[in-house]
Amino acid sequence: MIDLLIRGGRVLDPARGLDRRAHVLIDGGRVRGVVAPDEAPPARAAIDAAGLWVAPGLIDMHVHLREPGGEHKETIATGAAAAVAGGFTTVAAMANTNPVNDDPELTRWIIARAEAAGLARVLPIAAVTKGLAGETLTDFAALRAAGAVAFSDDGAPIMRREIMRAALAAGRQVDAAVIAHAEDRTLAGGGIVHAGPVAERLGLPGMPGVAESAMVERDCALAAAVGARLHIAHLSTAAAVAIVRAARAAGTRVTAEAAPHHFTLDAEAVAERGALAKMNPPLRTRADVAAVCAALADGTIDVIASDHAPHHADEKALGMAAAPFGVIGLETTLPLVLELVHAGVLDAATAIAALTVGPARALGIAAGTLAPDAVADVTLIDPDVAWTIDPTAFRSRSRNTPFAGRAVRGLAVAVCLAGRVVDHHLGGRYTR
C-alpha cells in the first residue's frame, strides 16, 4: 500500500526525456516510480490525472518576497502561498530586502520563516556585495554554509568589472552561480521605459537595449575567463540573446532566464497599462520579444522565471516616473508559458523543462525531476481550462500586474509538496 497514486496523467519529466501517459507512485514523501497504466499498486489516496499534465514541482528561481522590510507588499508566507497557487513548489528569493540578505544570520532566518509557512520551499539568494552597493564582496563561504543557493545583487548591477570578476571567482570557490542583473547604468541613462518610439511618443526617458547587452557581453567574458557559473537574469533583448547563444556555443558556463512579460508583451503595453507595465529591464520591441521566444525554443534561454516583484497599489499609483519598477508573476507565469505552447512556439517538454530541470541545473539543486527517490514535489496542470486573470483572486499581497483581464488557458490544479497534496481545483478527482 503506497501513500498516493497519481493515475493516468501525461507525465512530463524533461530531465529524463519522459513524456507519456503513466501513473506516478508516491510513498514516504518520495517518488517511488513512474509506471505503465496497467501496473497500479493499491494506494491510500489517489488523484485521477486523466487529461492533466503531471510535472515535477515547478521552480521559480527569481522572486522578490519583500520580507524583511517590505511586508506591506509581500511576506515570505504570502509569497509562498502565491507560489503554490501558481504551481511552484520551490522559489528562490532575491536579496534586495531591507535589510539586504548579505548576512548568514538573515539567510538562516529566511529559511526558518519559510519552513514555518510550510508551503513552497524558499531558497535564499544572498547578496554579492554588502548592501548591494557593488563595492565589497559578502562572505560567500559563510552565506553558502547558511543555506544560500546562489548570489545576486539583482535590482542593482555590479558596475565595477573587477568586483564582478572577484564575485565569479568567489562563486566558483563555493560552487554557486552568480546571477547577473545586466544593466550598464552609465548607458541606461536613468531611463524608465525602453528607448524607442513608445518612449518618444509618451515623452518618457528611455533605457536603450545596449545597456543590457553590453553588460551581458562583459559578464560572459568574465565568466569564461574565470571558469565560473554565471546566470543572466531577465534577458530582454535580441542583442543579449545573441551574445548568450555565442557564449554557450563557445562552452562558457552561462545559463539564462526570461520572464513572461518579456515574451508576451512589448513596449506598447506601457501606453495601455502605465506603471503596471513598468519594470526593469523594460518591455522591449516586437523583434526583441520574437528573439526571446526563439531563444526559449532553441534552449539558449533555459529558464523561465517570474521576477515576481510585488509593490503596493499606492506606490504604483504615483505615475510612470515615480512608481517603482516591477510586476508580480507567481500566479500568472504558468498560463503565460502555456500561451507559447498553445501558439506552437514551444513544445510541452521544452516549456516544462524551463520551469523545472532548467532552474534546478542553473541553481545546482537536486530538484526538478520525478526520478525514483526524488522528493515528491509534483505539479498537476490542466493545460486547457479557460479563465481570465483576476488580480483580486491572487494569494499574493500585491496586485501589480499588467495582465488583469487577459483571457488565458491552463493552470495548476494542485501541487504535491513531499507527497502532501495542496489542492486548488481537483474537486472529485481526489479520493482519500
Which residues in this chain contact ligand DOR in the complex, by CB under 6 A?
Answer: 64, 96, 154-155, 181, 279-280, 309, 324-326
d(CA 413, CA 415): 7
Between 325 and 387, CB nearer to ligand DOR: 325
The minimum distance between CB 307 and Zn ion, in angstroms, equals: 4
The answer to whether 183 contacts Zn ion (rule: CB under 5 A) is no
The minimum distance between CB 194 and Zn ion, in angstroms, equals: 17
Residue with grid cell 532566518, as numbered in its chain: 109
The minimum distance between CB 138 and ligand DOR, in angstroms, equals: 18
Find the helix or strand (DSSP H, E) in which 201 lies: helix 197-202
Q: Tell me the number of residues near Zn ion by CB under 5 A.
A: 2
Find which of ligand DOR, Zn ion, none residue 257 binds, CB within 5 to 8 Å per kind.
Answer: none
Q: Which of 131, 45, 52 is nearest to 87 (CA)?
A: 52
In 3-state terms the chain splits into helix, strand, coil percentages (rounded to 5) of 35, 25, 40
d(CA 110, CA 262): 29
Task: Name the β-bridge partners of 54.
Answer: 11, 380
The minimum distance between CB 153 and Zn ion, in angstroms, equals: 10
Among 115-123, 307-315, 357-365, 389-397, the segment contacting Zn ion (CB under 5 A): 307-315
Between 63 and 167, CB nearer to ligand DOR: 63
19 is catalytic: no
Other C-beta atoms within 10 Å of 354: how many? 25
d(CA 64, CA 84): 15
d(CA 182, CA 153): 10
d(CA 254, CA 250): 10
Between 62 and 429, CB nearer to Zn ion: 62
Among 79-87, 306-314, 333-341, 379-387, the segment contacting Zn ion (CB under 5 A): 306-314
The answer to whether 74 contacts Zn ion (rule: CB under 5 A) is no
The minimum distance between CB 61 and Zn ion, in angstroms, equals: 10
Find which of Zn ion, ligand DOR, none residue 280 binds, CB within 5 to 8 Å per kind.
Answer: ligand DOR
Residue 318 near residue 334, CB atoms below 8 Å = no
Residue 123 near residue 100, CB atoms below 8 Å = no
The answer to whether 307 contacts Zn ion (rule: CB under 5 A) is yes
Between 154 and 339, CB nearer to ligand DOR: 154
Between 335 and 402, CB nearer to ligand DOR: 402
Find which of Zn ion, ligand DOR, none residue 325 binds, CB within 5 to 8 Å per kind.
Answer: ligand DOR
Shortest-Cβ-distance residue relative to ligand DOR: 326
Using left for φ > 0, alpha for ψ between -120 and 50, and beta otherwise, residue 118 falls in left
Between 129 and 369, CB nearer to Zn ion: 129
Between 29 and 131, CB nearer to ligand DOR: 131
Measured CA distances, 137 to 61, 99, 152, 167 (Å): 22, 16, 11, 7
Between 155 and 260, CB nearer to ligand DOR: 155
d(CA 235, CA 66): 22
The minimum distance between CB 311 and ligand DOR, in angstroms, equals: 6
At 409 the three-state DSSP class reads strand
d(CA 275, CA 78): 23
Residue 87 near residue 58, CB atoms below 8 Å = yes
The minimum distance between CB 66 and ligand DOR, in angstroms, equals: 8
Residue 430 near residue 76, CB atoms below 8 Å = no
Q: In the range 140-159, which residues lie near Zn ion by CB under 5 A?
A: 154
Catalytic, out of 103, 219, 307, 382? 307
Q: Which of 91, 133, 137 is nearest to 114 (CA)?
A: 91
Residue 360 near residue 55, CB atoms below 8 Å = no
The minimum distance between CB 62 and ligand DOR, in angstroms, equals: 9
Angle 204-205-209 from CA coordinates, rounded to 5°: 120
Find which of Zn ion, ligand DOR, none residue 60 binds, CB within 5 to 8 Å per kind.
Answer: none
Find which of ligand DOR, Zn ion, none residue 96 binds, CB within 5 to 8 Å per kind.
Answer: ligand DOR
Binding footprint of Zn ion on the chain (CB under 5 A)? 154, 307
Catalytic site residues? 307
